[in-house]
Amino acid sequence: MMQPTTKQALGQARLADLHHQAQRASLARAGRQARRVRRQSGRRTPGLLAALTGWARRTRPAPESS
C-alpha cells in the first residue's frame, strides 16, 4: 500500500509535468505561427512592389496649360 505523502508527491510531479508539456506546446505553437507570418509576408512583398512599380510607370496624360 502506498503512503498518502507518496501519492501526493506523485500527483504533484504529474501536475508539474502536465504544466511543462502545456508550456512547451504553447511555445511551439507560437513559433509555428511566427514562422508562418514571416513566410507569408515575404511572399506578398514582391507582388506589392510589382504593383507599385506598374502604377509609378503608367503613362499619364500631359498636363494642360492654362
Report if residue 66 sits inside a domain: no
Take residue 11 and report the three cell numbers written for it. 500527483
Judge whether 61 lies within some domain.
no
> Can you give the residue range of the structural domain that contains 38?
16-53
Residue at 64 is within a domain: no
Structural domain includes residue 62: no
User: Phi/psi zone of residue 31: left (φ > 0), alpha (ψ -120 to 50 degrees), beta?
Assistant: alpha
Q: What is the pLDDT of residue 64?
A: 73
Q: Residue 65 — very low, low, confident or very high, per pLDDT cuts 50/70/90?
A: low
Predicted confidence (pLDDT) per residue in 6-34, tens digit: 999 999 999 999 999 999 999 999 999 98
Mean pLDDT score across all residues of the chain: 83
What's the total number of domains in the chain?
A: 1
In a domain, 7, yes or no: no
**Does residue 6 sit within a domain?**
no
Confidence of residue 54 (pLDDT cuts 50, 70, 90): confident
Does some domain include residue 2?
no
Asked, for residue 58, whether it belongs to a domain, the answer is: no
